[in-house]
Chains A and B, each alone.
Chain A
Amino acid sequence: MPISEQEIKHIAELSRIRLTSKDIVCYQKDLAEILAYVDKLKKLETKAKPLNKNRDLKNIFRDDNGEEWVVNYEVKKLLEDAPENIKEFIKVPVIFKKNEL
């Protein structure tokens, strides 16, 4: 199944990935090949329904309390992994600009 250049660009944008024009051609080809392969699923007729009621599935709940490991978490170490931080905050670019409000 061919995928247009426009479609790849759109999906890449949704994926937050920047593609060069060479990448686009490459991923168009790869995706077409993979999608042609997975298309075989259409041939399998099945009555199987995911999450059907006969399955022995149950929800796992827990109280929404802070666990001990969160309390003892080494906040400083965690922050050190972020590229930029100020005091105990992770620094990020501004989201809203004045003239947009």
Chain B
Amino acid sequence: MNYENLTIFELQALFKTHKVSPVEVANYFLKKIKKDDKKFNAFLSIRSEEALREAREAEKKIMANQDFHPLAGIPTAIKDNILTKGGLTTAGSKILKNYRASYDATVIKKLKNKGPVVILGKTNLDEFAMGSSTENSAFHTTKNPHDLTRVPGGSSGGSAAAVAGGECLFSLGSETNGSIRLPAAFCGVVGLKPTYGSVSRFGLIAMASSLDVIGPMAKTAKEVALIFDVISGRDKLDSTSFEDYDVISQEQIFKKDPREFKIGIPEEYFPKELDPAINNKLKQIIDKLANNGFKIERLSLPCTDYALAAYYIIMPAEVSANLARFDGIRYGEFSSQKKDILSVYLDSRTKGLGAEVKRRIILGTYVLSAGYYDAYYAKALEVKEAIREEFNATFKKVDILLGPVSPSLPFKLGEKTSPLEMYLNDIFTSASSLAGLPALSLPCGKSKGLPIALQLIGKPFREEDILVLAHYLERILKT
């Protein structure tokens, strides 16, 4: 049996009726990764022993109790900037190549308590999640399972490729701007970037703390909803996490008629640079929704054009502060012999950090430095607020925004050579990231064998709305 083609719910049903055990399934996936991951390079490390221990624990629970959590024994993969106790957590960086976390991130604790899930391994990413193609990993390049000559998107490229390549049933990624949505789009899986603050960041290696959020990837919207439900909620270890909001009840929400949502189509998300295959596909889908009785409103979000620019000030500013902790004293490989403290910092950071990370640290230090702070950082914060106000006004008229995730289909490995060219991939995800809104990437077709995706952006804390619409779209797109 090919377990990778099953949804979480289908595999859970097999566990429940004792047709297969979590240990058998864990062994199946570990073997599959060993065989297939040479092609995709989605993983940075495999947790064979720990995964089998988790599988045995899940098995015990399943045998003892028919009411086990749906995630019990489900094989998963975790982006390598999320701390998992014991094994390696590298964030894709040389400076952390030997780092073993002494505690679990809150999301990992939650996944272990429910079930537990079976964590097969840690997935590749752009170093410290800085990139849009996973080519910035210090260890290796991950390939798109749909076309091995193309990138999987980034920075959660390993997590998306692991699901698309059938190496696990779901994965966790993280997003600061586009890092869940873009790889989900390029690899043809569903990816949810939750509202900022809805999922604890405790144990996520920080990039830009005012924007970072952890989110799930899987094959369907319903599975993503289930995982989000488990990982979200208030955590006293993350002061920016919000109070619990209504638990998503699968039975209830997916019965909802999504036609009650009014859908907005922002004209700025359909510029002439948009790949015609994506443009045509999305137009077909919008027509189909209109024909099916949805209220569609075309509107304008003029601040969209400024979002990426504001992001490339705010993010590096926070990066330059957050990454100051990687100084070679607590992690890394420095030798203190006959060296002064400054040389330790300089040697460790110069050798341990990659080119893109250094670029963002330098850029961030520059925009925060005396004489430039007001012109850049203060201005960017004003633009961020203007974007937030623009979304607030828009969400008085419509409930969900629909547009593309990326201006292009998955591009070739090594194709984008200038940093700015790479940054422009994130043009349609920047505004919603700065405003902290929930957004989802949904596969909606193919062009020449490459996945096309659409993006749904919701009101703050209304993950439910975009998940319900995504589930509806999955059904109508099949027919």
Interface residues, chain A, with chain B CB atoms under 8 Å away: 3, 7-8, 11-12, 14-18, 23, 27, 30-31, 33-34, 37-42, 44, 46, 48-50, 52, 60, 62, 67, 69, 73-74, 77-78, 80-84, 90-95
Contact = CB atoms under 8 A, between A and B. Distances in A.
Given A3-B366, A74-B102, 14 more contacts: A8-B362, A12-B362, A16-B342, A27-B358, A38-B376, A42-B375, A44-B303, A44-B383, A46-B383, A46-B386, A62-B239, A81-B99, A83-B332, A90-B329
Contacts of A62: 236, 239
Interface stretch (B13-21, B137-145, B307-315): B307-315
Contacts of A81: 98-100, 102, 330-331
Given A8-B362, A69-B237, A93 B336 contact: yes
A91 B341 CA distance: 11
Nearest to B420: A33
Contact of A80 (B100, B310, B327): B100
Given A34-B363, A41-B309, A78-B102, A84 B358 contact: no
A18 B419 contact: no
Contacts of B98: 81
Given A38-B312, A41-B306, A90-B329, A48 B386 contact: yes
B11 interface: no
Contacts of A27: 358-359, 362
Contacts of A92: 329, 336, 341, 344
Contact of A14 (B344, B365, B386): B365
B334 interface: yes
Given A73-B102, A84-B335, A38 B313 contact: yes
A16 B346 contact: yes
Contacts of A12: 362
A93 B381 contact: no
Given A16-B349, A27-B359, A52 B336 contact: no
Contacts of B379: 41-42
A49 B389 CA distance: 10
Q: Which 8 A-B pairs have the closest CB atoms?
A: A77-B102, A48-B386, A48-B385, A50-B381, A46-B386, A38-B309, A18-B350, A16-B345
B366 A11 contact: yes
Nearest to A97: B340
6 contacts: A14-B369, A17-B349, A27-B362, A38-B313, A83-B334, A94-B341
A11 B237 contact: no
B41 interface: no
Interface in B354-383: 358-359, 361-363, 365-366, 369, 375-376, 379-383
